[in-house]
Amino acid sequence: MSGQYNGLQARIKVVNEKAEYVPCGGHSLNLIASPHRWNILFKALGGKVVLKRLIDVRWSAHADAVRALDSGYNDIQSALNLIANDKEEDPKTINEAKSLSSKMDKLEYVILTSIWNRILSRFNMVSKTLQSEDVNLSDIVSLMNSWKTFIQSVRDDFDDCIEKAKEKRPLAEYSFTTKRAK
For residues 131-143, give the mean pLDDT: 89
35 contacts 62 by C-beta, under 8 angstroms: no
Residue 1: per-residue pLDDT: 46
For residues 15-28, give the mean pLDDT: 70
pLDDT in tens, 34-92: 777 777 877 888 777 666 655 555 667 778 888 888 988 989 999 999 999 999 888 99
68 contacts 26 by C-beta, under 8 angstroms: yes
**Is residue 159 one of the residues assigned to a domain?**
yes
**Is residue 12 one of the residues assigned to a domain?**
no
Q: How many domains does the chain have?
A: 1
H helices, E strands: number in the chain: 9, 0
For residues 169-175, give the mean pLDDT: 79
What values do phi and psi take at 47, rounded to 5?
Answer: 80, 5
Which range of residues forms the domain containing residue 114? 20-123+135-168
Residue 82: per-residue pLDDT: 92
Confidence of residue 132 (pLDDT cuts 50, 70, 90): confident
pLDDT in tens, 98-117: 999 998 988 888 999 989 89
Q: How far apart, in whole angstroms, are the C-alpha atoms of residue 24 and residue 66?
A: 8
Whether residue 129 has pLDDT greater than 80: yes
**Is residue 56 one of the residues assigned to a domain?**
yes
**Is residue 27 one of the residues assigned to a domain?**
yes
**Is residue 155 one of the residues assigned to a domain?**
yes
**Is residue 114 one of the residues assigned to a domain?**
yes
**Is residue 147 one of the residues assigned to a domain?**
yes
**Is residue 11 one of the residues assigned to a domain?**
no
